[in-house]
């Protein structure tokens, strides 16, 4: 579910709710796999008493930096959510880890599909160093992106989803960026012209920034929709040009949007605007 803009929205919400400076008094682990290989006893013992110094995002990870030098990395994967909830709030069966805060509130990890992970570590770099550049960072330049693309003989869609190539894009924003750049998802990265590479660079930054500005993308009205830590839906769905808009008119040329499969992933394109073999 959550990609870079949704994860950033959650982080913004957590900060807005005043979590920085709060202390985690204790915790309950109700589904062991959520904390990976660490034992629940060890996790609870180590996280209890930790004071939150900062909350930030890297790629699709939410990172809590504690004053002790420990860090909690949270990856929401497909269906994870972080909820701020009164400690007295009714428990839900999909809440797998509960962090009890010093202000009578909980931070609850709600994850229907149970793919999400919480990693408590002194060395977050062991996880984060595998990640590619942060697309909205000032350090991420067109020149860098062009060089990266040149070195890859892979098709653009799976490449954009590869977090070690570029961090933060998922299926929604990858499709949106490719449409924005008028590139076919099967285009081989190394064959892109310099001009189209810059188009793609700008498209990626544009769709991600718009997603953040609109507090993320929530689709439909089902229970698996994205909601932030304060349970707000995002407003970005109205900006989607292709994702899940099958048979609707392309806003650029009026052609019907099609769904194809690329790299085992559902992919949405305008067949007229995104021709293959345009480099």
Partner DNA sequence: GTCTATGTTTGCGG
Partner DNA sequence: TCCGCAAACATAGA
**From 57, 60, 108, 157, active-site residue:** 60
161 lies in the site for DNA, by CB under 7 A: yes
Q: Which of 58, 154, 182, 206 binds DNA (CB under 7 A)?
A: 154
- Residues 235, 215: contact at Cβ < 8 Å? yes
Sign, Cα dihedral of 200, 201, 204, 207: negative
**From 182, 206, 259, 265, active-site residue:** 265
22 or 111, CB closer to DNA? 111
Instruction: Tell me if residue 271 is catalytic.
Output: no
Distance of CA 169 to the CA centre of its chain: 7
238 lies in the site for DNA, by CB under 7 A: no
Which pair of structure tokens corresponds to residue 218? Answer: 């929530």
Instruction: Tell me if residue 3 is catalytic.
Output: yes
Instruction: Tell me if residue 2 is catalytic.
Output: yes
Instruction: Tell me if residue 122 is catalytic.
Output: no
C-alpha span between 138 and 72 (Å, rounded): 25
142 lies in the site for DNA, by CB under 7 A: no
218 lies in the site for DNA, by CB under 7 A: yes
88 lies in the site for DNA, by CB under 7 A: no
Long-range contacts from 60-63, C-beta under 8 angstroms, 24+ separation: 60/2, 60/3, 60/4, 60/7, 60/163, 60/167, 60/168, 60/170, 61/7, 61/127, 61/128, 62/7, 62/10, 62/11, 62/14, 63/124
How near is the Cβ of 23 to DNA at its closest, in Å?
29
Would you please indicate which residues are annotated as catalytic (active-site) residues? Answer: 2-3, 60, 265
Q: Which residues bind DNA (CB under 7 A)?
A: 1-3, 6, 33, 59-60, 75, 77-78, 93-94, 112-115, 130, 152-155, 158-159, 161, 163, 170-172, 216-226, 259, 263-266
């Amino acid at each position: 579910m959550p990609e870079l803009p949704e994860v950033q929205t959650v982080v913004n919400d957590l900060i807005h709710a005043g979590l920085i400076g709060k202390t985690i008094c204790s915790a309950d682990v109700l589904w062991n796999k959520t904390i990976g290989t660490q034992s629940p006893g060890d996790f609870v013992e180590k996280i209890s008493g930790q004071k939150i110094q900062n909350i930030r995002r890297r790629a699709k990870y939410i990172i809590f930096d504690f004053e002790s030098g420990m860090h909690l990395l949270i990856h929401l994967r497909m269906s994870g959510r972080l909820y701020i909830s009164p400690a007295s709030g009714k428990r839900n069966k999909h809440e797998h880890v509960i962090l009890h805060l010093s202000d009578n509130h909980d931070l609850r990890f709600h994850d229907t599909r149970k793919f999400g992970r919480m990693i408590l570590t002194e060395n977050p770099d062991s996880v984060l160093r595998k990640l590619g550049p942060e697309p909205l960072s000032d350090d991420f330049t067109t020149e860098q992106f062009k060089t990266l693309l040149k070195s890859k003989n892979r098709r653009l869609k799976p490449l954009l989803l590869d977090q070690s190539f570029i961090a933060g894009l998922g299926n929604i924003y990858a499709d949106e960026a490719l449409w924005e750049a008028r590139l076919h998802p099967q285009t081989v990265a190394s064959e892109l012209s310099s001009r189209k590479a810059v188009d793609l660079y700008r498209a990626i930054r544009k769709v991600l920034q718009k997603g953040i500005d609109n507090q993320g993308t929530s689709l439909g009205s089902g229970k698996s929709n994205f909601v932030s830590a304060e349970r707000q839906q995002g407003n970005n769905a109205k900006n989607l040009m292709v994702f899940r808009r099958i048979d609707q008119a392309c806003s650029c040329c009026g052609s019907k949007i099609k769904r194809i499969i690329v790299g085992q992933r559902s992919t949405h394109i305008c067949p007229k605007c995104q021709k293959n073999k345009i480099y």
